[in-house]
Structures are given as structure tokens and as C-alpha cells.
Amino acid sequence: MTSRALNQSPPARWLQLLTAALLAAACGAPESVGKKPDTDGERTVVVSHSVDMQGVNELTTQSTAITNALLYHAFFLQLVEEQADYQDGPPTFEPQLAESYEFSEDRLRLTFHLRPDVVWSDGVPVTAEDVRWTWQGHIHPDVPWGLIEAKKHITDVEVVDPHTAVFHFSKAYAAQLQDAVIGVILPKHAWGVIPFEEWRENTTWFRDHMVVNGPFALESWEPQQRYVLRRNKKYFDSKLPKVDRIVFEVIPEENSRLALLRSGKAHLVEIIAPQDAARIEADPDLKLLPYIPRVFFFLTWNVSRPLFADKEVRQALTMAIDRQEIVDSIHYGYANVSYSPFPSNHWAYNKNLQPWPYDPGRAKEMLARAGWTDSDGDGILDRDGQPFSFELVTNAESQVRLDALVMIQDHLKRVGVDVRTRSMEFNALLDPLNAHDFDAAIQALALDTSLNTSFFLHTSAIDDGFNWGAYSNPEMDRLIDQTAAEVDPLAAKPIYDQLQALLHEEAPLTFLYETQRLCAASKNLHDVDPNSISTFFNLRRWRLEDTE
């Protein structure tokens, strides 16, 4: 689902890596940026964006935030669309290609009834054959798709008639609907001419033979310069979209993107740095649009190393870090100290817990009970002749994490812990993380709305997942397995509470903060509605008000 989005939208349940490296800011705006587009009276929105899109075929394209946003919210339809309304209960789903759906009594069959009036942009009807063929692409070994994990319990997709498709499952579980509808529906008649076995060899072919069933088509694409969307005149809802064109200008440099917005040459910038928020709010022509993403930032301790094997030591280290100072200094108040991987506005969030306090005195006492004292007076704690010293790493592309690295080093020095810091290019950092060849690391992950925490907390994820710190607890495994087996998500709320309480007590991760993401737009661009699924979730309803 788009809600499994890294940064995004949508990462696989096992690929929730929010730490995907940001492209380096290497250049300013192209010379053509800011020139008024030749629109012939059309309503054109200009978006100043940091990166290029990667492709148009979800099954062969590198997953990035903007690529996923365009695939899911501009070019193609899902069967139904997950909403960002998970505050009071599990998210709801709105019709898209399917106008309705129902489960069989045993929940082993899920039937979708397709709208009869949806056609591809070349006029060919969209049918259940497209649905089945897309699923075949999802699971084909020669593709291979990054989200295939979501399809592992689907045994078949049956075509009953042109407008009825039935998903068959091997078992009943809570996330069946999410797993069935994750992924956009692709055009069999247009793209099926190339066998799945040859897709990876022909990735650019799909762009040249593109048909869409979503609100926008791809009008043009100049790599690393701009990509332009045009209203799909064959979209099933004749009242949408509400603008004719959307021009995405690729501007890697953050200040250049903001300058275009403030000059009126762009209508939207997706991500604004917290230090720039006050300038946006003070500008009468602009508006700041904050929201809470489903992302958690944390420090992971490698518990397979003796230094971090004791949970009381991990608790003490957490209390020695002034996380509120990090929030105030780096995020200018657009963040909160956190204690859970669940967003604080999520229905399953355990409100009965409190973050570990900043208490360096208590931290020193707990470390002393664990045998760590400054026996030689050099200012560094030691035990059995060994100093309490370790290396803390993060990825070099994130200035916020680099700043946090330095602050944490200083905080821990105050209680006698020696921290050596190192930053690495993200792809290079993955090797020691996956091999558990590190001491501690600052990273971030995204939790999808199925609330499956197994990919970073379960013992099985030590060798196959993102359990980088090698944390293993049979009780945690039991709770995770129990939530996965529960058909009714609401019935699992007490289990989710227990899971979060155990994670808080064990402290294999030190949760740092939960941020607000800041989007900025011109006052005359309406109905943008950025949310945890995507800034571009409501793209088809964007509306541009006349200013002249």
C-alpha cells in the first residue's frame, strides 16, 4: 500500500528502510527553471523537487518517494486506496478501480468488483485480466518485485468475468486486504507483449509504450531536469483532475528550491527544513503544511557485543542522552521525544508509557551498579581495565543525523562514556549494519499500517531483515507472532501495548524523536493535503486559484 511508504510510499513490509540516502545537493537550478511555461491558458502547477523520478513500471523501477507517489497517485489506479485515517482505528479504504469488495465467510477469498467505466488512456477497457496479469508479474521470479513479501499468502487471482476478480489466500490474517491491493494495476494489453523474463532488460521500453488509467499521463521527461504530467482526458471521473499540467522541476539544492517558491515561480516544495519554517509562516503568499510521517528515528545498540548486552546499561545510556535538547536544537520544536516505533497519533500507540527521562545522575548510578566506574580518574568509566568506549555511526547524507551524532557524543561524555563518531555513505554503511559489525548506529525506519514489527524486532530478522542490533527475546517473538495471527486488528490492541512496553523496558533501541514533516505551498494552491502516505496523496484534487 502506498502507506508503506519510505518517505515515502510504498516500501515493502521487509523493505521499510527510511534511511535510503538522499541525493547529494551538487548543483543549483537549471537555467530554464522559473520561466513561465507555455500553457496556452492551461492551469499549470509547478513543483520544485529535489530528485528525478526513476521510471514508470513499479515492478522494474527503483523505489523512491517521488517515483512511488507518481505511480500511485498520478499514473495508475489501485484496486482500493488506503486512507491516512488511522488515528482512531485501522485505516479505511476508498474505492478506486474496484467499486466494492467482500470477503468469503472463511476469509480465504476476497472478491473485487471493478468499475465498468475505467479505460486505459488508449481507450482499451481495464478488466480483471489486468488484475490477474499484474499479480502474475508481482510473483514472477524473473522480475523480481521488492514487495513480493506482501503476496506470499495469495495462492491465485481468479478472473470470474471482466469486472470481477477473486483473490485466494492460504490463510486468514489481519493484513489480507492490504496485501491484496498493494501495487498498482498495470496494462496487460500494452506491456504484456514483453515476457516477464525480459522485463529487467527493457526497463526504458515501458516509458515509450506507456498507457495509464490514473488521473495524469506523462507528457514529457527530461532526466535530471524536469518531468511534466498532463491531465488524462480518459480518467473515469470527468471532474478530476482539477489542473491541466504539473511540472516537476528537479532542483537538488535546498536553498534554490525554497527561493523558487518564495519568488512565486513554484507552487510547492515537498520538504522544508525546520529552520526555514518561520520564514514560510511569515510570508503572506505562502503556507506551511506540517504532518506526522510514520517514521521513527532511533539509536540501535548492537546487543551481541558485551558492552550493550545488559538492558540496564542500555537504559542508562538512554537516560544520559538529552533528547529534548536534540529536538530543540536540530528540529526547532517540530519534533517530539519518542519511545515507540508507532506514531503518537496512531490508534495502536501505547499512551500509558513515558519516555526515559534525561537523568545523567541516575544514569551514572546505574552504570556504577553494572561495574562501570572511573577507577583511574581519567574521566572515562572503566570495568576490569577496559574503558567504556565505542563507535557511533550514521549515514553521511543526513545533516540532521550528523548533528545528532555530535550532540550524543557530548551527552555521553558527561557521564564518562567515550564515543567515537563516524559517518559513511549510506550504501557502504549497510554492509556493517547487515553483518552486525558495528557498535551503535543512528538510523530511521518506517512502520506500515499493518503494524508488522517483525522486520526489525523479531529474531528471524537478525539474518533476514533490519534487526541490525541482533536483538532476540522469545517473549518479543511471541507477541509479534501473536499480532500477525490476529484477524481483527482492534482485538490485538492489548498485544501491541504489551509489545511496546516490553520494547521500552528492554531498550535494544533508544528512540530519539518523532518528527513533523514540513511541506510548503503557495496560498493559491488548494487541497494539497500532505499526509503520512504521501505529499502527493491528493494530487488529482489539487486546485489552483487565479491570482491575476
Instruction: Give pLDDT tens digits for 417-475.
Output: 999 999 998 889 989 999 999 999 999 998 887 788 999 999 999 998 899 999 999 99
CB atoms within 10 A of CB 444: 23
Alpha-carbon distances of 90 from 5, 93, 346, 413, rounded to whole Å: 17, 10, 9, 43
Q: Rounded to 5 degrees, what are φ and ψ at 300?
A: -100, 130
Residue 547 confidence (pLDDT): 55
Residues 453 and 421 in one domain: yes
Is the same domain home to 265 and 350?
Answer: no
Strand pairing of 509-515 and 295-301? antiparallel
Residues 351 and 240 in one domain: no
Strand partners, 546: none
Asked if 206 contacts 136 with a C-beta cutoff of 8 angstroms, the reply is no
Q: What digits encode the pLDDT tens for the residues 391-424?
A: 999 998 788 899 999 999 999 999 999 999 999 9
DSSP string, 418-431: EEEEEEE-HHHHHH
Give domain status of residue 49, yes or no. yes
Closest CA to 196 of 234, 146, 131, 139: 139
Report residue 158: phi and psi, to 5°: -95, 135
Summarize pLDDT for 271-312 with one digit per residue, the tens.
888 989 999 999 999 999 999 888 899 999 999 999 999 999
Question: Do 169 and 248 lie in a common domain?
Answer: yes
- Return the number of other C-beta atoms located less than 10 Å from residue 222's C-beta: 12
Mean pLDDT of 71-95: 95
Q: Cell triple for residue 516?
A: 513533523
Residue 148 lies in a domain: yes
Q: Is residue 33 part of a domain?
A: no
Phi-psi region of 203 (alpha: psi -120 to 50; beta: other; left: phi over 0): alpha
| Measured distance CA(57)–CA(199) in Å, rounded | 10
Grid coordinates in use for 299?
Answer: 539509536
| CATH code for position 331 | 3.10.105.10
How far is Cα 541 from Cα 534, in angstroms, rounded to an integer?
Answer: 14
Q: Which single residue is written with the C-alpha cell 502527493?
A: 536
Instruction: State the cell numbers at 197.
Output: 523474463
Residue 37 domain-assigned (yes or no): no
List the CATH number of the domain containing 8. Answer: 3.40.190.10
Q: How far is the C-alpha of 272 from the C-alpha of 288, rounded, in Å? A: 9
Q: Are residues 173 and 311 in the same domain?
A: no
Using the predicted structure, report yes or no on whether residue 22 has a pLDDT greater than 50: no
In a domain, 179, yes or no: yes
Does any domain span residue 35? no
The answer to whether residues 343 and 292 touch, using CB atoms and an 8 Å cutoff, is yes
| pLDDT score recorded for residue 27 | 34
Residue 26 has pLDDT above 80, yes or no: no
User: Which residues, 6+ apart, have CB-to-CB distance to 459 below 8 Å?
Assistant: 467, 472, 473, 474, 476, 477
* 91 assigned to some structural domain: yes
Residues 403, 267 share a domain: no
What pTM does this model have?
0.81
Q: Would you state the pLDDT for residue 149? A: 84
Give the span between the Cα atoms of 290 and 272, in whole angstroms. 10
Q: What contacts 374, CB < 8 A, 6 or more positions away? A: 380, 381, 382, 416
Please give the single-letter amino acid code of residue 337: V
SS3 content of the chain, % helix, strand, coil (to 5): 30, 20, 50
Q: Are 189 and 49 in contact (CB under 8 A)?
A: no
Cβ within 8 Å of residue 328, ≥6 positions away: none
Residue 95 neighbours by CB distance under 10 Å: 17
SS (H, E, C) 51-84: CCCCCCCCCCCCCCHHHHHHHHHHHCCCCEEECC
pLDDT: is 164 or 40 the higher one? 164
What's the burial of 361, exposed, middle or buried (CB within 10 Å: 0-12/13-18/19+)? exposed
Q: What was the pLDDT predicted at 40? A: 57
DSSP string, 331-369: HTTSEEE---SS-TTSTT--TT--PPP--HHHHHHHHHH
Question: Does 301 lie in the same domain as 252?
Answer: no
Q: Based on the structure, what is the number of domains in the chain? A: 2
308/171 same-domain check: no
Does residue 34 carry a pLDDT above 60? no
**What is the extent of the structural domain holding 327?**
295-515
Q: Do 504 and 529 fall within a single domain?
A: no
Same domain, 276 and 173: yes
Q: Does 27 fall in a domain?
A: no
Cα separation, 68 vs 86, in Å, equals 21
Long-range contacts of range 313-317, CB-CB < 8 Å, 24 or more positions apart? 313/366, 313/367, 313/370, 313/372, 314/506, 314/507, 314/508, 314/510, 315/356, 315/366, 315/507, 316/362, 316/363, 316/364, 316/366, 316/367, 316/370, 316/415, 317/363, 317/412, 317/417, 317/510
Please give the Cα distance from 134 to 146 (Å, whole number).
Answer: 14
What would the pLDDT profile of 355-388 be if each residue is shown by its tens digit?
999 999 999 999 999 999 999 999 999 999 999 9
Whether residues 319 and 197 share a domain: the answer is no
Alpha-carbon gap, residue 432 to 425, rounded angstroms: 12
Give the containing element (helix H, strand E) for 106: none
Bridge partner residues of 154 (DSSP): 169
Number of residues written out for the chain: 548
Tell me the C-alpha distance between 250 and 455, whole Å.
Answer: 33
Least confident span in 60-64, 150-154, 189-193, 326-330: 60-64
**Residues 80 and 188 occupy one common structural domain:** yes
